[in-house]
Structure 1
Amino acid sequence: MSPIIAVANLSKVYASGFQALKSVSLEIRRGEIFALLGPNGAGKTTLIGIICGIVSPTEGRVTVDGHDIRAEYRKARRLIGLVPQELTTDAFETVWATVSFSRGLFGLRPDPAHIERVLKDLSLWEKRDSRIMTLSGGMKRRVLIAKALSHEPQVLFLDEPTAGVDVALRQDMWRLVRRLRDQGVTVILTTHYIEEAEEMADRVGVIRRGEIILVEDKTELMRKLGTKQLTLQLQTRLVAVPDTLSAHRLDLSEDGTELTYTYDSQGERTGITALLTDLRAAGIRFRDLHTRQSSLEDIFVGLVKDPA
């Protein structure tokens, strides 16, 4: 199946001379939730702006469902819904009016039934006659999503969709995004909440200094780059790790009551078996143990941090 979005050799140099993107190539699959992660200034906003036709690239090409974003702007843009970070609409308009108006901007006929479905899906139906200025921050965020969905896009960009909202609303939005994905909508998510990407994404892309440094299925990324730790609570304090255990990646706690073994998924079975055998031979006994696996946030921090 062809990708819904194809980015090829995309570069952007601003008038100031700053190069925001450096020969970026990326393909987004149909019907997936793709998390685009990167530190501030990495190029996320520029990349999204170019794909959505808001920013002009210096070099390269972008197609949306086969339509070139510049040569066939109207056809490409019609397929995209964009949820920006900030609400940009008339504060005196009603929810119904502003969402309906967004649909009209794409030259589509009024469809009250569709607007009603969108507002009900976003728990906005009871607020349909309320002015934007009277809504809470969370409700305004929902209005942004409703506006982006008003013209029935195939691709939805969510730029920091849950920034500053409470946990309950965040979980509501997660459920909505999954439902959209199940309906065939491709969702591209940028977020500073790494747990949001870990919870929702099918694939993860990481951008740093204008370059895509990694694109990977989330589960495979965590399997390959994630580490695990086995912590053993010892029956007897140790002063130091015996030399006979030097082959293992062990750290002794300051009080000498815990040993922590760090390992990767690929060496899990043989590594732990060998460790337990060597512990027994060294006469070290433990009374309890627990494991911890690195999160997507741990992996992300390791990828984007500057080398010392």
Structure 2
Amino acid sequence: MWATKEIIRRRLRRRARRYANRLTSLSRRQWAGVAVVLTGSAGVAVAAAIDQAAVATCLLALLLAAVLAGVIHLSRRIGRVNRSTQAAVRDLRTVVDELQRRVLAAVEKERLAAGDRHQELTESLARAERLTGRGAELLLREQSREIEALVQLFQWITPRAPMPAGVTLNPSDLLGLVHIARDRAPATTVALGSGPSTIWLGYTVEARGGRLVVADHDRGRAGRTRALLAEHGLSTVEVRHAGVTELSVEGGAVDWYDVDALDGLHDIDLLVVDGSLAPTSSNALTPALHVLGRRLAPGAVVVVDESPVPRQGGFGLTAQRPLPGRWVALADPQSTVRA
């Protein structure tokens, strides 16, 4: 029995606290409404107690009217809240739809871009595969040409010592240089610039009973070339050191070989101008012809590696058919240069 009463008390306390919390959470308007209802109820009770039925009826009518007004007001507020909630839901739905469309558009764009990139990559790989195959084929052809040129060089020349390694000219270039020397059989050959290619040219000139004079502005390179010539026993080749001096050509100044080192050179049948070994970085042919053009023998040939080669080199020289490798021969139109 005592336990049952205790349970009832606890329930009553919880309900009392719940109602108290609700009352404390009421707004001023709600408190005013509660006060009006309580006042009206109290008035009805007092009027009924003192036998004032008319007053009690009037107060009861006013109380009902107030309650009805409160219900209408509450209904209108609930309606406004409902409408605002529906508007918020519509706005949220619009935002979600717009976001969904943007996401779908972005995904579609990325999908198309990925497809394009995949296609480009596939085409690039296919093109690279074709180019790789073609490049390998071209490389094999080039290597075959170089091997053939090297074999032909050793068929023409029998060296007395090991040929120098690290040649700046490949076998095709050497073949073109040796070919023009064999074909022309020059009595006097002048080469501007020395190096391992001088050995090949020296053997060719020696076999034709000629003389080779080489000028080089690099003293160290000239010394190394002399040592190679001595090793191969090429006594018909002379290497001269010609330091760099300023030369006036066609109204301008260029760095070129010291002309004093070229004294005594006349009736030059073959002039080799190697632009890669010249003191000037460009147009090595113009100063060479300016100094040595008047010393060329009738029917002489000038071999130059410049690109592009001028059609007219001066002194009646005209570009002829290109030689094997990177050389081009300039000669008198009446002179024949076979390639």
Q: TM-score, normalised by structure 2?
A: 0.27
Higher helix share: 2
Higher strand share: 1
- Structure with bigger gyration radius: 2
Q: TM-score, normalised by structure 1?
A: 0.29
